[in-house]
Chains A and B, each alone.
Chain A
Amino acid sequence: MMNRFIRRIQRFKGWIGAAAALCIFYGLYLGLLDSPPDYYQGEVVRIMYVHVPLAHTALLAYGTLFVGSLWYLWKRDVLVDNMCHAAAGITAAFTILALITGAIWAKPTWNTWWTWDPKLVSFAVLLLIASGYLMLRTFVEDPDKEGRYAAVMAIVGGIDLPIIYFSAEWWRTLHQPLSISMRGVSMSGDILLPLAIMSLGLNLLFIYMLMIRTQMLYLTNLLEAKKGRLLSHAHLSHTSS
């Protein structure tokens, strides 16, 4: 009865987790200790090696949710629905972390915790969409509808995100013409290598978390179904006596 993907996950997840840990530790070493401080920003720039990969991984997680939702609506595979559910939670977590590290980075460089930068606006809305998705899933009473409604929400949100980004970008250029920008940071090899390794590490971490969470949701459902089957037979024989 157990899905073969779940078995395969069981075999591979340890390796992926180990690879993720290796990349993250090496990336942190390169970014926090080995790389030179920035000419303008000094040591502060080091938070970038955490912030930017976090933000990219949050987008990867939402992308997974978006594609998974389309796939679920097409194939109606429960495992895919579980994967979407897992991806949504991880999206929310990575988005919060990206927003927090972003605020910490913004304070010394832009001298403010928060500004109406298009990226910030988009990530704030992304957080609202991902948490709305998770709330929606808990509020659907009919289990048949849960996966479907959630997928609809994820798809509409995914189509909306680029529009939100562009409208926020136009909006910003209108109100505060490019006085603050992070384009001052030159992308030399010293910066690129730790960034790439951290990104790889966090992407692997995302895959690792996705596997564990999907597996957990799937097995919980399986267990509940078996329990429910026993219960409903008990219930039926009870009403007959």
Chain B
Amino acid sequence: MAIQAFQLTKSFGNYLIFEDLSFEIPKGECFALFGSNGAGKTTLLRVLATLVRPTSGRFSILDHDGLTEKEPVRQAIMFLAHGSHLYDDLNAQENLRFAMAMRGQHPSSKELKLCLDQVNLGAFAEMKTRNFSAGMKRRLALAKVILAQPQVLLLDEPYNALDEGGVEVTNHIIRDMTKRAGIVVMTTHDREKATQVAHRTGLLHQGILTFSSTDNSTAHAIF
């Protein structure tokens, strides 16, 4: 099992977000998490991304404990959050260089150019990201994923602000990851786009997580 959560509970001060969530996500699976606003989807992702400490319970990612072995967990994961994590005064290429350097990776200029082309930002490599649109920032975040090749990808509302081409790139990256036995966990409201790639979906409702499989899951089982 690649991601294991055991009785995860998170409350913000006095507000209980979710309670006693236990689940497992195997390698090679894309898992889509649905739920109404405020159901705690993003908080769950932030717990898995080691950004927020759960109030109680434990989880492990690729057999590394998420609370005590943060460094290997952080090396394995990549989290594309609501914010783009970009520095407005750096250009696209410099942003990528810095983001990779913080993961201990140092891509060559050629690699950078190649992956910017892959997300259709080749023409904007030297442009300050201050002038980027929300969709372009999303694409640049996808470029980070292509460069970093993480084993676990956490996506918070990945389809927001993306045009059709962007959605295609996103889904391509997701398929590519699951083929390599990587894991993708995403939260979204867009069932239609998510079910194109997800093997399993979950609904977070009143702090309870219920699972159901999708059409892709059979293909997944055969694979």
Contact = CB atoms under 8 A, between A and B. Distances in A.
Contacts of A228: 11, 13-16
B210 interface: no
A144 B55 CA distance: 9
B36 interface: yes
Interface residues of B, number: 16
B36 A233 contact: no
Contacts of A225: 11, 14
Contacts of A232: 11, 15-17
A233 B205 CA distance: 11
B14 A240 contact: no
B207 to A, nearest CB: 6
B13 A239 contact: no
B135 interface: no
Decide if the interface of chain A is mainly helix, strand, loop or mixed: helix
Contact of A236 (B13, B53, B207): B207
Contacts of A235: 38
A239 B205 CA distance: 9
Given A236-B206, A237-B206, A240-B206, A143 B38 contact: no
Contacts of B206: 233, 236-237, 240
A231 B15 contact: yes
Contact of B53 (A144, A227, A233, A239): A144
A107 interface: no
A144 B14 CA distance: 11
A178 B152 CA distance: 68
A229 B13 contact: no
A102 B223 CA distance: 81
Interface in B9-26: 11-17
Contacts of A240: 36, 205-206
What is the interface residue range for chain A against chain B?
10 to 19
A224 interface: yes
Contacts of B38: 235, 239
B16 A143 contact: no
B52 interface: yes
B12 A143 contact: yes
Interface in A205-241: 224-225, 227-229, 231-233, 235-237, 239-240
Contacts of A236: 39, 205-207
Interface centre among B12, B16, B205 (most CB of A within 10 A): B16
A232 B37 CA distance: 14
Interface in A59-82: none
Nearest to A76: B53
A233 B52 contact: no
Interface string A84-120: 0000000000000000000000000000000000000
Given A144-B52, A232-B16, A232-B17, A239 B36 contact: yes
Contacts of B12: 142-144
Contacts of A227: 14
Interface of B: 11-17, 36-39, 52-53, 205-207
Interface of A: 142-144, 224-225, 227-229, 231-233, 235-237, 239-240
Nearest first, the 5 closest Cβ-Cβ pairs linking A and B are: A228-B14, A143-B13, A236-B206, A232-B16, A224-B14
